[in-house]
Amino acid sequence: MNAPNANDSSVRSVRLLTIGVIMTISIYGLMNCYQGVVLNNVVESYKLTGGLQGLMPSLTNIGAVIAFLSAPLLQGRIKKTSLMLLGAGIIVLSFFLLGAGRVVAALVFASLLTGIGFGWVDANCNAVMVDLHHDDSVKYLGFLHGGFGVGALIAP
């Protein structure tokens, strides 16, 4: 008699976590596109020239590579959902540093953090979705990437 309720609770938990992961990746898509707007303003405000203009986007990409290399090592030790939330927190911190930074070195460090946060969110959202919907992962990964597209579409 209690088994169906436990199953209903489990199904509801999976559904809520799925919605949360899709919302997280949508916000990631928004922030990923918003970063281009922010970095253009930073280049303009600091009058960066030459190679310095590409330093921050390059460090964002380096941070993403660091995240993608470290995510599999950390996923066995830390829950994927915790890493996903840690990545989201790093993104928030990095955007705060981008807004509050007055020194180019702080902005460069914030760009590296942005890449790490982006990479951890991306890698762990995909991993969590596959774990939740192993038998139907293709469909749910499609929803996940559609959520990223919606976030990117509404970006400035």
Q: Return the pLDDT at 8.
A: 80
Q: Return the pLDDT at 6.
A: 55
Q: What is the pLDDT of residues 47-66, one digit of tens each?
A: 888 888 888 889 999 999 99
3-class SS string, the chain: CCHHHHHHHHHHHHHHHHHHHHHHHHHHHHHHHHHHHHHHHHHHHCCCCCCHHHHHHHHHHHHHHHHHHHHHHHHCCCCHHHHHHHHHHHHHHHHHHHHHCCCHHHHHHHHHHHHHHHHHHHHHHHHHHHHHCCCCHHHHHHHHHHHHHHHHHCCC
133 phi and psi angles, rounded to 5 deg: -130, 60
Q: What is the pLDDT of residues 125-136, one digit of tens each?
A: 999 999 999 999
Q: Return the pLDDT at 24.
A: 94
- Is 3.40.50.720 the CATH number for 3-153? no
- Looking at per-residue pLDDT, the higher value among 41 and 79 belongs to 79
Q: Return the pLDDT at 39.
A: 82
Q: Where are the domains of the chain?
A: 3-153
Q: What is the pLDDT of residues 75-108, one digit of tens each?
A: 888 999 999 999 999 999 998 988 887 888 888 8
Report the candidate in 66, 152, 55 with the shortest Cα–Cα distance to residue 111. Answer: 55
